[in-house]
Amino acid sequence: MKKIRVYQVDSFTTEKLQGNPAGVVPNADGLSEAQMQAIAREMNNSETAFVLSPTAPDHQLWVRFFTPKTEVPICGHATVAAHYVLAHEKNLPSCTLIQKTGVGLLPVEIVQEGHDYRVIMTQGAISYSDPLPGEDRHDLLAALGLDAADLDDRCPLQVVSTGHSKVMIGIQSRDLLHRLKPDLTALTTLSKKIGCNGYFVFTLNAEQCLLAHGRMFAPAIGISEDPVTGNANGPLGAYLVRHNLVTPADPVFRFRAKQGEALGRPGVVEVEVSLENGIPKQVRVGGCAVIVFQTEIELP
């Protein structure tokens, strides 16, 4: 029997049972893809991270991410969770590790703070699709229960990616944000049409210390709603700069965003957007984490 160590970690928070829960299997070598998928289904978090040995000298670890339904190329909160577990298991000092993921090799910075850690991940290449055309726009608003008047007219409905794409949907009211009850079946159908599984609905604040509040729905990959999403708030940063919704004074635009309030699991994501001649070139997201429990699973 093989003993698999399994952790439950809450990311983007220092409080247990807040933020976004992720499963972490730090000794996943030898597991089949079917076993990883079964463990992710059993954990029933939005994502579970499986840490494997490197496959080449250009990285220190290989991490695969599974929702309860399917494998995804990258996950922000599960990356934070996986490296937080590794830092504690190995008593790591502040360092940078290169992880192999489904979107390539990405550096992850582990910052030791007393007896605890923060984790900051570099996301993948930034890409933007054209704004959604009329029929898709209509279907999206209907699925979310929104009217055109509810939208923030500064914010085009657009797919943005830093490795795992999301539709950016800016609305005017935080109260409305927290009252949304989307039609998950309709969102799943739309995902198949537009080739994007995640929908990030957000509102903007005037103060940059906490610039945005958001919610993220991805039913097509088994996530009705994700509490706190690194791969939504990261692309949001690039999107805000690209559309002149913020006016960065420095070569690195930094902000904090809050998510998970509607689920009773609030957490805060720290976002950095590096600029070159005013154009977003690289996105990093990070935050704190806390281990909720550790256990072992025996598998043949």
The pLDDT tens digits of the residues spanning 134-155 come to: 999 999 999 999 999 999 999 9
Quote the pLDDT of residue 45: 97
253, two tokens: 């635009």
The single residue of 15, 33, 42, 47 carrying the catalytic annotation is 47
Query: Beta partners for 50?
Result: 25, 64
At 249-281, the pLDDT tens digits run: 889 999 999 999 999 999 999 999 999 999 999
Quote the pLDDT of residue 249: 86
Sign for the CA dihedral angle at 249, 254, 260, 264 comes to: negative
The stretch 17-21 carries a mean pLDDT of 98
47 labelled catalytic: yes
Q: How many CB atoms lie within 10 A of CB 92?
A: 14
More confident residue, 208 or 58: 58
Find all residues with CB under 8 Å of 267, minimum gap 6, and list them: 10, 11, 12, 13, 18, 19, 20, 227, 228, 258, 259, 260, 287
CA-angle at 283, arms to 280 and 285, nearest 5° = 150
Exposure of 283 by Cβ count < 10 A (0-12 exposed, 13-18 middle, 19+ buried)? Answer: buried
Taking the alpha carbons at both ends of the chain, their separation in whole angstroms is 5
Residue 207 has pLDDT above 70, yes or no: no
CA-angle at 171, arms to 167 and 174, nearest 5° = 120
Q: What percent of the chain has pLDDT over 70?
A: 99
